[in-house]
Chains A and B, each alone.
Chain A
Amino acid sequence: MMNKAYRFIKARDLVMRGVFIFCAVFSIVALGCICAFLFANGLPFIGRVGLGNFFGSEWHLDSEAYGILSMIAASLYVTALSTVIGITIGLFTAVSLFKFCPENAVAPIRQMINLLAGIPSVIYGLFGLIIIVPFLRDYISPNGFGYGILAASLVLSVMVLPTIVSVSFDALNAVPKSYYEGALALGATSEQSVFKVMLPAAKSGILAAVVLAIGRAIGETMAVIMVLGNSPVMPKGLFQSVRTMTSNIALGATELSGDAATALVSTGVVLFAFTLLLNISFSLLKEQGGGKREKKRP
C-alpha cells in the first residue's frame, strides 16, 4: 500500500517536473525560433543585394533598391527626440513626486501615469492623427505639413512617460534617506539636496530609465505609422514625411511578396540588432548600478 502511494507521488513529481521544465524552456525555444527565422531569412538577403544597396539611402522596390539608411536615420531621430522630451518631463515628474508634491497627491498621480502605460498604442496613434497632426499643421508647421518627426516624437514622449517616471522614481527612492538628511545637515536647501545629491546618487537607475524609454520608442510601430507620413526619404526637418524601420515592416508585411518581403525581414534584423544592443546596455547599467550602491552602503 505504502509503496503504491509513494510510486504515485514520485510519478506525479516527474510529470510536474517535466511540465515546469517545458515552461522554462518554452520562452528560450520561442526566442531561438524568432532569431533563427530572422537571421536565416534576413542575412542571406543582405549578402545577396550587397551591403551598399541595403544600407544605401534609396528604397524603391520596382528598381530593386532596398536601402534602409533613411529609415534607420528616421528611427534614430524620432527615438532621440522623443526620449529627450520624455526624459525632461518624466524626470521632473519623478523628482516632484519624490519630494515636492503634496503627500496625498503622490499615489493618485502615480496611478494615472501608470494608467498611461495601459492605453493601447493604436489609441495613441489615433490621438496623434486626429489632434496632434492637424494642430501642428494649422498652428506650428512652417510649411502646412503636420506629419513627421515632431508629431511622432510628441506622441512617443507621452508613451514613454510611465516607464521613465516609475523607474526613476524607484531609483530615487532606493537612495538611502541619510544622503538627503546629510545634505540638509550640511546646510543645503531641500532643492539643492534633491538635485545635487539625490539625483546623482540615483544616476544609474535614471540611465536605466532612459535606456528602457529608448527601447520602447524605437520599437513602437502603430502609433508611429499613423503620424509619420511614411515616405522612405532621408529626414531633413521636423515636418517632413519619413519612415521608420518599424513602419516599413508593418506597411509592407501584408502586401509584399518575394524579395520585397524578404527585405522587410532584413529590416527586422537591423531593428533586432538595435534593440539587442539596448538590452545589453540596460543589463550592464543595472549590474553596475547595483554593485556601486552595495559598496557605498554603510
Chain B
Amino acid sequence: MKKLLAVMLLMCVCAAALVSCGGSGFDSSKNVTIIAREDGSGTKSAFMELIGLRGKADPANAVIQNGTAAVLAEVKGNPAAIAYESLGYVTDDVKALKIDGIEATVANIQSGAYKIARPLAIVYPGSVLDDEVNAAFFAFLQSSDAQKIIGDGYVSILNDAPAYTIDGSLSGTIDISGSTSVQPLMIDLAEAFRALQPNITVNVSGGGSGTGYNNARDGVSAFGMISEVFVLDKAPNCTYFNVAMDGIAMIVHKDNPLDSITMEQLASIYDEESTTTPIWSDYIK
C-alpha cells in the first residue's frame, strides 16, 4: 500500500511539473496558429467579408474553435496564436492589434478609421415613422437607455443621447426582421423597450440582411435589420439608421511583440489559398 501511495505522489509531482512548464515564452520562429470560428458564426462571416474573403473557406491549418470563450482561452494560452473576436468580448488577458496602425478604440470605429468594423443598422420606409408606436421605438433606439445596452458588447455611435421619455398611452406591435448579426442586440433592446412600454410588443426575427431589406421594402416588417453599409438599390423606398457599430479586434498573446498588422497581411493569413503556413518573423521586423 505504501508503494502505491508513493507512485501516486510521483504521478502528482509529474503532472504539476508538466503544468508549470506549460507557459513558455514567445518564439518568432514558430508558425502562426491561426484561430478561426465555425461556419455559421456571425463574427466569422463579418470578419471574412471585411477583409475581402467573403465566402472563402478557412486556411487548411486553422484551428476552429466554437465559441467566443474558447477563442479567448486559446489565445491566452498559446503565444503563437492569432484570432478575431468581437471587440466587446476582448479582455485584458490578450493583446488587441492595431490595424494599419489604427488602434481598435470606440473613437476610431466611430470615425471609420478602424477598418474591421461594420454598422448594425435598421432600414425602413420613411412613412413607417408616421405611426406613433414605431416612432416611439425609433426614439428609444436613439436614447441613452438604448446606448447603455449597445455599449455592452458593441460600439455606440451616439454620444450625449437623451433619456427616453415614456408615453403610457401607446400600445401596439412592432415587427422587426433581418440580419442574424443584429438580432441578439435587437432582442436585448426590445426587451428593455418593453420594460419601459409594457403595452408595446416588439417581435424580432432573423432571416439575414437580405431578408431585412426585402421585408422593409415590401412592408412585411416595420423595420429591417442589416449588418452592412446601406445599399440604396436593395430597397429604393427606404432610408436607414445605424443603431450601433460592431468592431472586430485581432487578438494575440500578451508576450507577442507585434503591435500592428495590415489588412493585406490579415487577408493573406486567413486566405484558404495561401499555401505556406505563415511564421511570426514574417510580420515582426
Contact = CB atoms under 8 A, between A and B. Distances in A.
A146 B73 CA distance: 15
Nearest to B80: A144
Contact of B19 (A104, A131, A260): A131
A60 B272 CA distance: 11
A241 B39 contact: no
Contacts of B4: 105, 108-109
13 contacts: A63-B55, A130-B22, A131-B18, A131-B19, A131-B22, A135-B18, A137-B80, A230-B38, A231-B58, A231-B62, A251-B39, A255-B40, A256-B40
Interface string B70-98: 10010001101000000000000000000
B41 interface: yes
A243 B59 CA distance: 13
Interface residues of B, number: 35
Contacts of B64: 229-231, 241, 243, 251
Contacts of A130: 22, 77
A255 B77 contact: no
Contacts of A260: 39-40
Given A61-B39, A131-B22, A134-B78, A104 B1 contact: yes
Contact of A135 (B22, B38, B59, B277): B22
A209 interface: no
Interface in B7-55: 15, 18-19, 21-22, 24, 27, 30-31, 33, 38-41, 55
A161 to B, nearest CB: 15
Contacts of A135: 18, 21-22
Contact of A241 (B3, B40, B60, B77): B60
Contact of B63 (A61, A143, A229): A229
A240 interface: yes
B33 A138 contact: no
A32 interface: no
A229 B62 contact: yes
A105 B7 CA distance: 12
A252 B30 contact: no
A46 B24 CA distance: 47
Nearest to A261: B40
A223 to B, nearest CB: 14
Interface of B: 1, 3-4, 15, 18-19, 21-22, 24, 27, 30-31, 33, 38-41, 55-66, 70, 73, 77-78, 80, 277
Contact of B31 (A144, A230, A255): A144
B126 to A, nearest CB: 33
A147 B27 CA distance: 18
A233 B62 CA distance: 10
Given A144-B31, A145-B33, A231 B78 contact: no
B57 A60 contact: yes
Contacts of A138: 21-22, 24
Interface string A94-112: 0000000010110011000
B18 A231 contact: no
Sort chain A's interface into a size bin. Answer: 35 or more
Contacts of B77: 130, 134
A62 interface: yes
A240 B61 contact: yes
A48 to B, nearest CB: 20
A62 B61 contact: no
Contacts of A149: none
A144 B33 contact: yes
Contacts of A240: 60-61
B86 to A, nearest CB: 15
A145 B80 CA distance: 9
Given A231-B62, A231-B64, A252-B40, A143 B22 contact: no
A35 B65 CA distance: 30
A62 B1 CA distance: 61
Interface string A216-238: 00000000011001111100000
Given A63-B55, A137-B78, A233 B60 contact: yes
Contact of A252 (B15, B39, B65): B39
A144 B32 CA distance: 8
A129 B15 CA distance: 15
Residue of A102, A144, A243, A260 most packed against chain B (CB within 10 A): A144
Contacts of B57: 60, 62, 232
A256 B39 contact: yes
A147 B70 CA distance: 14
Contacts of B73: 129
A250 to B, nearest CB: 8
Nearest to B206: A257
